[in-house]
Amino acid sequence: MKRVVITGLGAITPIGNTIPAFLEGLQNGISGAAAITRFDNTHFKTKFACEVKGLNPEEFLERKEIRHMDNFALFGVIAADEAVKDAGLEPEKLDLDRVGVIFGTGIGGLRTLENEYEAYIRGDGTPRFSPFLIPKMIADIAPGLVSIKYGFRGINYSTVSACASSTHALMNAFDYIRLGRNDIILAGGAESTITPMGVGGFSSMKALSTRNDDYKTASRPVNRDRDGFVVGEGAGVLILEELEHAKKRGAKIYAEIVGGAATADAYHSTAPHPEGLGARKVMELTLQDARMTIEDIDYINVHGTSTPLGDIAETKAIQQVFGERAYGLNISSTKSMTGHLLGAAGAVETIAGVLAINHRFVPPTINHFTDDPEIDPKLNLTFNEAQEKEIRAFLSNTFGFGGHNSSVIVKKFEG
């Protein structure tokens, strides 16, 4: 099969709206949490989130275009633009039938749906809906808009598997390229659900932290007193490219994606398997797909959402797969900084790993104060500060409601 490399990156995150800004946030252990500004949070139990800050869409798109996009698609299109420029892609020089776009999203245009329904119930009952309601709301619109912008006519769709969505997108893109069906695929994810229904829905499940008096440290993966995740928003896009195609056009190569897999817990709609069985299996299958051993992995970017059950189950699964090698790894959760980007999480966290390879550091798990007695203290969870380290290969985990598990392995490129 063909080898697949990463030749471009783009990101919009709560800790930086470009790749350089995101890198700086990771290296400095910045928290993206702040009071919610997207809506009036007066009556909500959780009053904070990890919002995208300081983004001016008019620097990238015309006002008319912006009005016709939900925020999740807007984030995806802008991140894709950064990735395309970073990769030096010139559409007029490409076989556009062999360039695709696969994006993941967990929910899609939730704010658009809320706005339209609010307008309807405030009215006189006459169904006056925007003709853009459906195209703004649907989950697959982000990759569609990217393909329209650049004329990419290859494979194009959206993966929807809750928090595992964009890792599934990466895995699918990897497969299409290594099977020779496309030369280039823009793979990633986008999400924007910091809305009354989004925050209210997760809050009613008791999934969100309620640490309103100390929101900057509320995302506390593997910390004893963690009380739920902090919802985030944003987008991440990686340019995946067939190696020989990349070489032929003289592209810079960040890293090589070498394996991916997916499993199901088949256990519960929202809770992980308590012994981490699905998580364990997906890591085993990803290692097999990459033809790598546990000794080849130097870093794991864990799902690590800061929920009481999930963090324990995942660390158990890592120890089951890696055995004694687990103590020689660096492990961290970048959600401690970005919050949980839901369907965009996998792409953004894979980008974090690619940056870690290229800049020789491990992003930290910030906001750690007290060890959890149910999590092995000998694990190197890279607490509070980034650590300098040469990373040969990393594994990134994402697990979603419904029991969806997906993982990918990316390694340092060696020609």
Residue type, 90: E
Average pLDDT on 2-21 reads 98
Q: What are phi and psi of 209, to 5 degrees?
A: -65, 145
List the single range of 201-210, 272-281, 317-326, 375-384 with lowest mean pLDDT: 272-281
Query: pLDDT category, 291, cuts 50, 70, 90?
Result: very high
pLDDT at 42 over 90: yes
pLDDT of amino acid 131: 95
Greater confidence, 274 or 7? Answer: 7
Query: pLDDT category, 415, cuts 50, 70, 90?
Result: confident
pTM over 0.85: yes
Partners of residue 82 on adjacent β-strands: none
Query: pLDDT category, 3, cuts 50, 70, 90?
Result: very high
**What residues are annotated to the active site?**
163, 303, 340
pLDDT of amino acid 124: 87
Q: Using alpha carbons only, what angle is made at residue 294 by residues 288 and 300, rounded to the nearest 5 degrees?
A: 100
pLDDT at 16 over 90: yes
Cα torsion 154, 155, 157, 160: sign: negative
Q: Which residues contact residue 228 at a Cβ distance below 8 angstroms, ignoring those fewer than 6 apart?
A: 206, 207, 208, 209, 210, 306, 307
pLDDT of amino acid 275: 87
- Count the Cβ atoms, other than its own, within 10 Å of residue 233: 29
Query: For 362-377, how does the pLDDT look when each residue is reduced to its tens digit (9 = 90+)?
Result: 999 999 999 999 999 9
pLDDT of amino acid 274: 86
Query: For 173-200, how does the pLDDT look when each residue is reduced to its tens digit (9 = 90+)?
Result: 999 999 999 999 999 999 999 999 999 9
Average pLDDT on 32-47 reads 97
Query: pLDDT category, 233, cuts 50, 70, 90?
Result: very high
Burial class of 388 by CB neighbour count within 10 A (0 to 12, 13 to 18, 19+): exposed
Query: For 85-110, how does the pLDDT look when each residue is reduced to its tens digit (9 = 90+)?
Result: 999 999 999 999 999 999 999 999 99
pLDDT at 393 over 90: yes
List the single range of 148-157, 272-281, 287-296, 358-367 with lowest mean pLDDT: 272-281
Q: Which residues contact residue 390 at a Cβ distance below 8 angstroms, ignoring those fewer than 6 apart?
A: 298, 360
E strand residue ranges, 225-377: 234-242, 255-264, 299-301, 330-332, 361-362
Average pLDDT on 255-279 reads 94
pLDDT of amino acid 25: 98
Q: Find where tokens 């910091």 sit.
A: 194
SS3 232: strand
Q: Which residues contact residue 266 at a Cβ distance below 8 angstroms, ignoring those fewer than 6 apart?
A: 278, 403
Residue 180 CA, distance from chain mean position: 26
